[in-house]
Structure 1
Amino acid sequence: MGNTGGDSLTEDINTQYNLANMVWIMTATALVWIMIPGVGLLYSGLSRKHHGLSLIWMALMAVSVVSLQWFFWGYSLAFSHEAGKFIGALDNFGMMNVLAAPSVGSTAIPDILYSFYQLVFAATTAMIMVGGAHERARLGPMMVMLFIWMTVVYCPIACWTWNPSGWLAKLGGLDFAGGGPVHMTSGAGALAYALVCGKRHDPLADDKVKTYRPHSVLSVVLGTVFLWFGWLGFNGGSSGNATIRGFYAANSTNLAAASGAMTWLMIDYFRKGRKWSVVAICTGAIAGLVGITPAAGFVPCWSAVPIGVITAAVCNFAFDLKKVLHIDDGLDVFALHGVGGLMGSILTGFFAADYIAALDGATQIPGGWLNHNYRQLGLQLAGATATLGYSFTVSTVILVALKYIPGFHLRLSVEEELLGTDVCQIGETYFQDSDEPVYTDGVSPGVMSGAQTPVPRTEKTADESV
Structure 2
Amino acid sequence: MTAAPSVPYRQRPKRLRDATLLETPAVLAGKIRGLSNPRTLTWLACVPVALFGLGLFNLSAHAADLPELTPAFLINNLWLLVAAILVIFMNAGFAMVEAGMCRQKNAVNILAKNLIVFALAASAYWIIGYSLMYGEAVVPGWLFFGKGGFLGLFFDPAVTPDMVKDGALVPSVDFLFQVAFAGTAATIVSGLVAERIKFGEFVVFSLVLVGFVYPIAGSWKWNADGWLNQIGFIDFAGSTLVHSVGAWAGIVGAIILGPRIGKFMDGKPQAIPGHNLAIATLGCLILWIGWYGFNPGSVLSMNETVPYIAVTTTLGAAGGAIAATILSQITGGKPDLTMTINGILAGLVGITAGCDGYSMPAAWVVGFLAGLLVVFSVAIVDKLGIDDPVGAWSVHGTCGIFGTLAVGLFNSDKGLLLGHGFAQLGLQILGALAYAVFVVVASFITWAVLGAVSGGIRVTETEELEGLDIGEHGMEAYPDFNTIST
Q: Same fold (TM over 0.5)?
A: yes
Give the secondary-structure state (helix, strand or coil) at the position aligned to 1:88: strand
Q: 1:68 to 1:267 in 2, by over 3 A?
A: same
Letter in 2 for 1:146: S
State the partner residue of 1:36: 91
Q: Distance in 2 between matches of 1:17 and 1:112?
A: 17
Check whether the contact 2:354–2:403 (CA below 8 A) recurs between aligned residues: yes
Q: Distance in 2 between matches of 1:398 and 1:185?
A: 14
Check whether the contact 2:264–2:270 (CA below 8 A) recurs between aligned residues: no
State the partner residue of 2:467: 420
Check whether the contact 2:137–2:143 (CA below 8 A) recurs between aligned residues: no
State the partner residue of 2:432: 384
State the partner residue of 2:302: 242
Q: Distance in 2 between matches of 1:7 and 1:63?
A: 28
2:444 is equivalent to residue 396 of structure 1: yes
After superposition, the C-alpha distances for 1:249-294 in whole angstroms (9 at most, x for unaligned) are 1110011101110110000011112x23322221111110010010
2:150 is equivalent to residue 90 of structure 1: no
TM, length-normalised to structure 1:
0.85
Bigger radius of gyration = 2
2:210 is equivalent to residue 150 of structure 1: yes
Give the secondary-structure state (helix, strand or coil) at the position aligned to 1:320: helix
Q: Distance in 1 between matches of 2:125 and 2:61?
A: 23
Deviates more, 1:33-42 or 1:329-338: 329-338
After superposition, the C-alpha distances for 1:341-365 in whole angstroms (9 at most, x for unaligned) are 11111111122234xxxxxxxxxxx
Aligned match for 2:196, one of 131, 136, 156: 136
Q: Distance in 1 between matches of 2:268 and 2:219?
A: 39
Aligned match for 1:410, one of 457, 469, 481: 457
Check whether the contact 1:135–1:417 (CA below 8 A) recurs between aligned residues: yes
State the partner residue of 2:321: 261
Aligned match for 2:171, one of 79, 95, 111: 111
2:361 is equivalent to residue 302 of structure 1: yes
- The Cα shift of 1:309 comes to 0.9
- The Cα shift of 1:397 comes to 1.4
Give the alignment of 1:424-443 within 5 angstroms: 424-433=471-480
Q: Distance in 2 between matches of 1:161 and 1:5?
A: 30
After superposition, the C-alpha distances for 1:132-169 in whole angstroms (9 at most, x for unaligned) are 11110000111111111223321111101211111111
- In the alignment of these two chains, the number of paired residues is 421
After superposition, the C-alpha distances for 1:81-118 in whole angstroms (9 at most, x for unaligned) are 44641232133444231333689xx9831222111101
State the partner residue of 1:357: none
Unmatched runs of 5 consecutive residues or more in structure 2? 1-58
Give the alignment of 1:453-464 within 5 angstroms: none
Deviates more, 1:50-59 or 1:94-103: 94-103
Q: 1:58 to 1:379 in 2, by over 3 A?
A: same
Check whether the contact 1:6–1:13 (CA below 8 A) recurs between aligned residues: no
Q: 1:178 to 1:38 in 2, by over 3 A?
A: same
Give the secondary-structure state (helix, strand or coil) at the position aligned to 2:145: coil
Check whether the contact 2:132–2:212 (CA below 8 A) recurs between aligned residues: no
State the partner residue of 1:122: 182
Q: Distance in 1 between matches of 2:60 and 2:79?
A: 21
2:333 is equivalent to residue 278 of structure 1: no
Aligned match for 1:51, one of 106, 110, 127: 106
Give the alignment of 1:336-415 within 5 angstroms: 336-354=395-413, 370=418, 372-405=420-453, 407=454, 409-415=456-462
Letter in 2 for 1:341: G
Q: Distance in 2 between matches of 1:418 and 1:216?
A: 19
Q: Distance in 1 between matches of 2:73 and 2:395?
A: 38
Q: Distance in 2 between matches of 1:312 and 1:203?
A: 24
State the partner residue of 1:66: 121
Check whether the contact 1:202–1:418 (CA below 8 A) recurs between aligned residues: no
Q: Distance in 1 between matches of 2:439 and 2:105?
A: 30
Letter in 2 for 1:150: V
Q: Distance in 1 between matches of 2:444 and 2:227?
A: 24
Q: Distance in 1 between matches of 2:62 and 2:103?
A: 54
Check whether the contact 2:243–2:400 (CA below 8 A) recurs between aligned residues: yes
Q: Distance in 1 between matches of 2:439 and 2:410?
A: 26
After superposition, the C-alpha distances for 1:358-400 in whole angstroms (9 at most, x for unaligned) are xxxxxxxx66653625300100010011112221221111101
Aligned match for 2:349, one of 270, 287, 290: 290
Q: Distance in 2 between matches of 1:107 and 1:368?
A: 36
- The Cα shift of 1:211 comes to 3.1
Letter in 2 for 1:384: A
Q: 1:368 to 1:165 in 2, by over 3 A?
A: farther
Check whether the contact 1:209–1:322 (CA below 8 A) recurs between aligned residues: no
Check whether the contact 1:260–1:309 (CA below 8 A) recurs between aligned residues: yes
- The Cα shift of 1:6 comes to 9.1
Letter in 2 for 1:404: A
Sequence identity (%)? 27
Q: Distance in 1 between matches of 2:346 and 2:379?
A: 15
Aligned match for 1:200, one of 249, 260, 279: 260
Letter in 2 for 1:423: I
Q: Distance in 2 between matches of 1:143 and 1:96?
A: 24
Q: Distance in 2 between matches of 1:87 and 1:151?
A: 14
Check whether the contact 2:109–2:468 (CA below 8 A) recurs between aligned residues: yes
- The Cα shift of 1:14 comes to 4.6
Q: Distance in 1 between matches of 2:241 and 2:444?
A: 17
Q: Distance in 2 between matches of 1:12 and 1:421?
A: 56
Q: Give the structure with the larger helix fraction.
A: 2
Q: Distance in 2 between matches of 1:203 and 1:349?
A: 38
Give the secondary-structure state (helix, strand or coil) at the position aligned to 1:337: helix
Check whether the contact 1:131–1:333 (CA below 8 A) recurs between aligned residues: yes
- The Cα shift of 1:202 comes to 3.2
Check whether the contact 1:108–1:240 (CA below 8 A) recurs between aligned residues: no
State the partner residue of 1:26: 81
Aligned match for 1:216, one of 268, 276, 284: 276
Check whether the contact 1:179–1:293 (CA below 8 A) recurs between aligned residues: yes
Check whether the contact 2:137–2:144 (CA below 8 A) recurs between aligned residues: yes
